[in-house]
Amino acid sequence: MNKKININIEIQNNENFLMQEHAHFNFAYFVEIAKENNYIGYRDYESNWTDFKKSRFIESLILNVPFPPIIVYENSYNVYEFITGINRTKSFQDFLDDKFALTGLSYWKVLNGKSYSQIEDIVLHRIARKQIHWISIHNNSQNSKLIRKIATDLLTSHFH
């Protein structure tokens, strides 16, 4: 009987659950936010995606293909750490900063070999309108590190 009472108390205790905040941002605006110091490790992060993979991601933006949300963990007030989406965000930033030319595009072959500054405005306007779904999770309990680890493991595994 005691175990059942303890489980009921634990379930009623909101400290042992993740809180979620959802938002939609213009992707270019989000990149500017991420470059600020409130995203831990973002400025120094080097994407491990090849130019081919980055290019295919940019092509998916032009085609308006939906992609999974960017999920971050709020370590403290307004200080975030990426759980998912850092490669997509860095790849988009690299594209905006003219760091690579598009390569290996399947549908928009005419854009192969072009960097951001060489692409026609009509295409850039389509990319600029892309919205992302952003989810911030946080937990303020004394178990927050464990809960964060469990969430991160699940969200970044192939199980998800």
Q: How many angstroms separate the Cα of 95 from the Cα of each of 12, 35, 52, 127, 140? A: 47, 14, 12, 11, 36
Mean of per-residue pLDDT scores for the chain? 83
pTM for the model stands at 0.79
Q: What percent of the chain has pLDDT over 70?
A: 75
Which pLDDT value is given to residue 103? Answer: 98
How confident is the model over 92-109, as pLDDT tens digits?
999 999 999 999 999 999
User: How many C-beta atoms surround the C-beta of residue 32 within 10 A?
Assistant: 12
Confidence of residue 79 (pLDDT cuts 50, 70, 90): confident
| Greatest Cα pair distance in the chain | 70
CA 64 – CA 124 distance, rounded (Å): 12
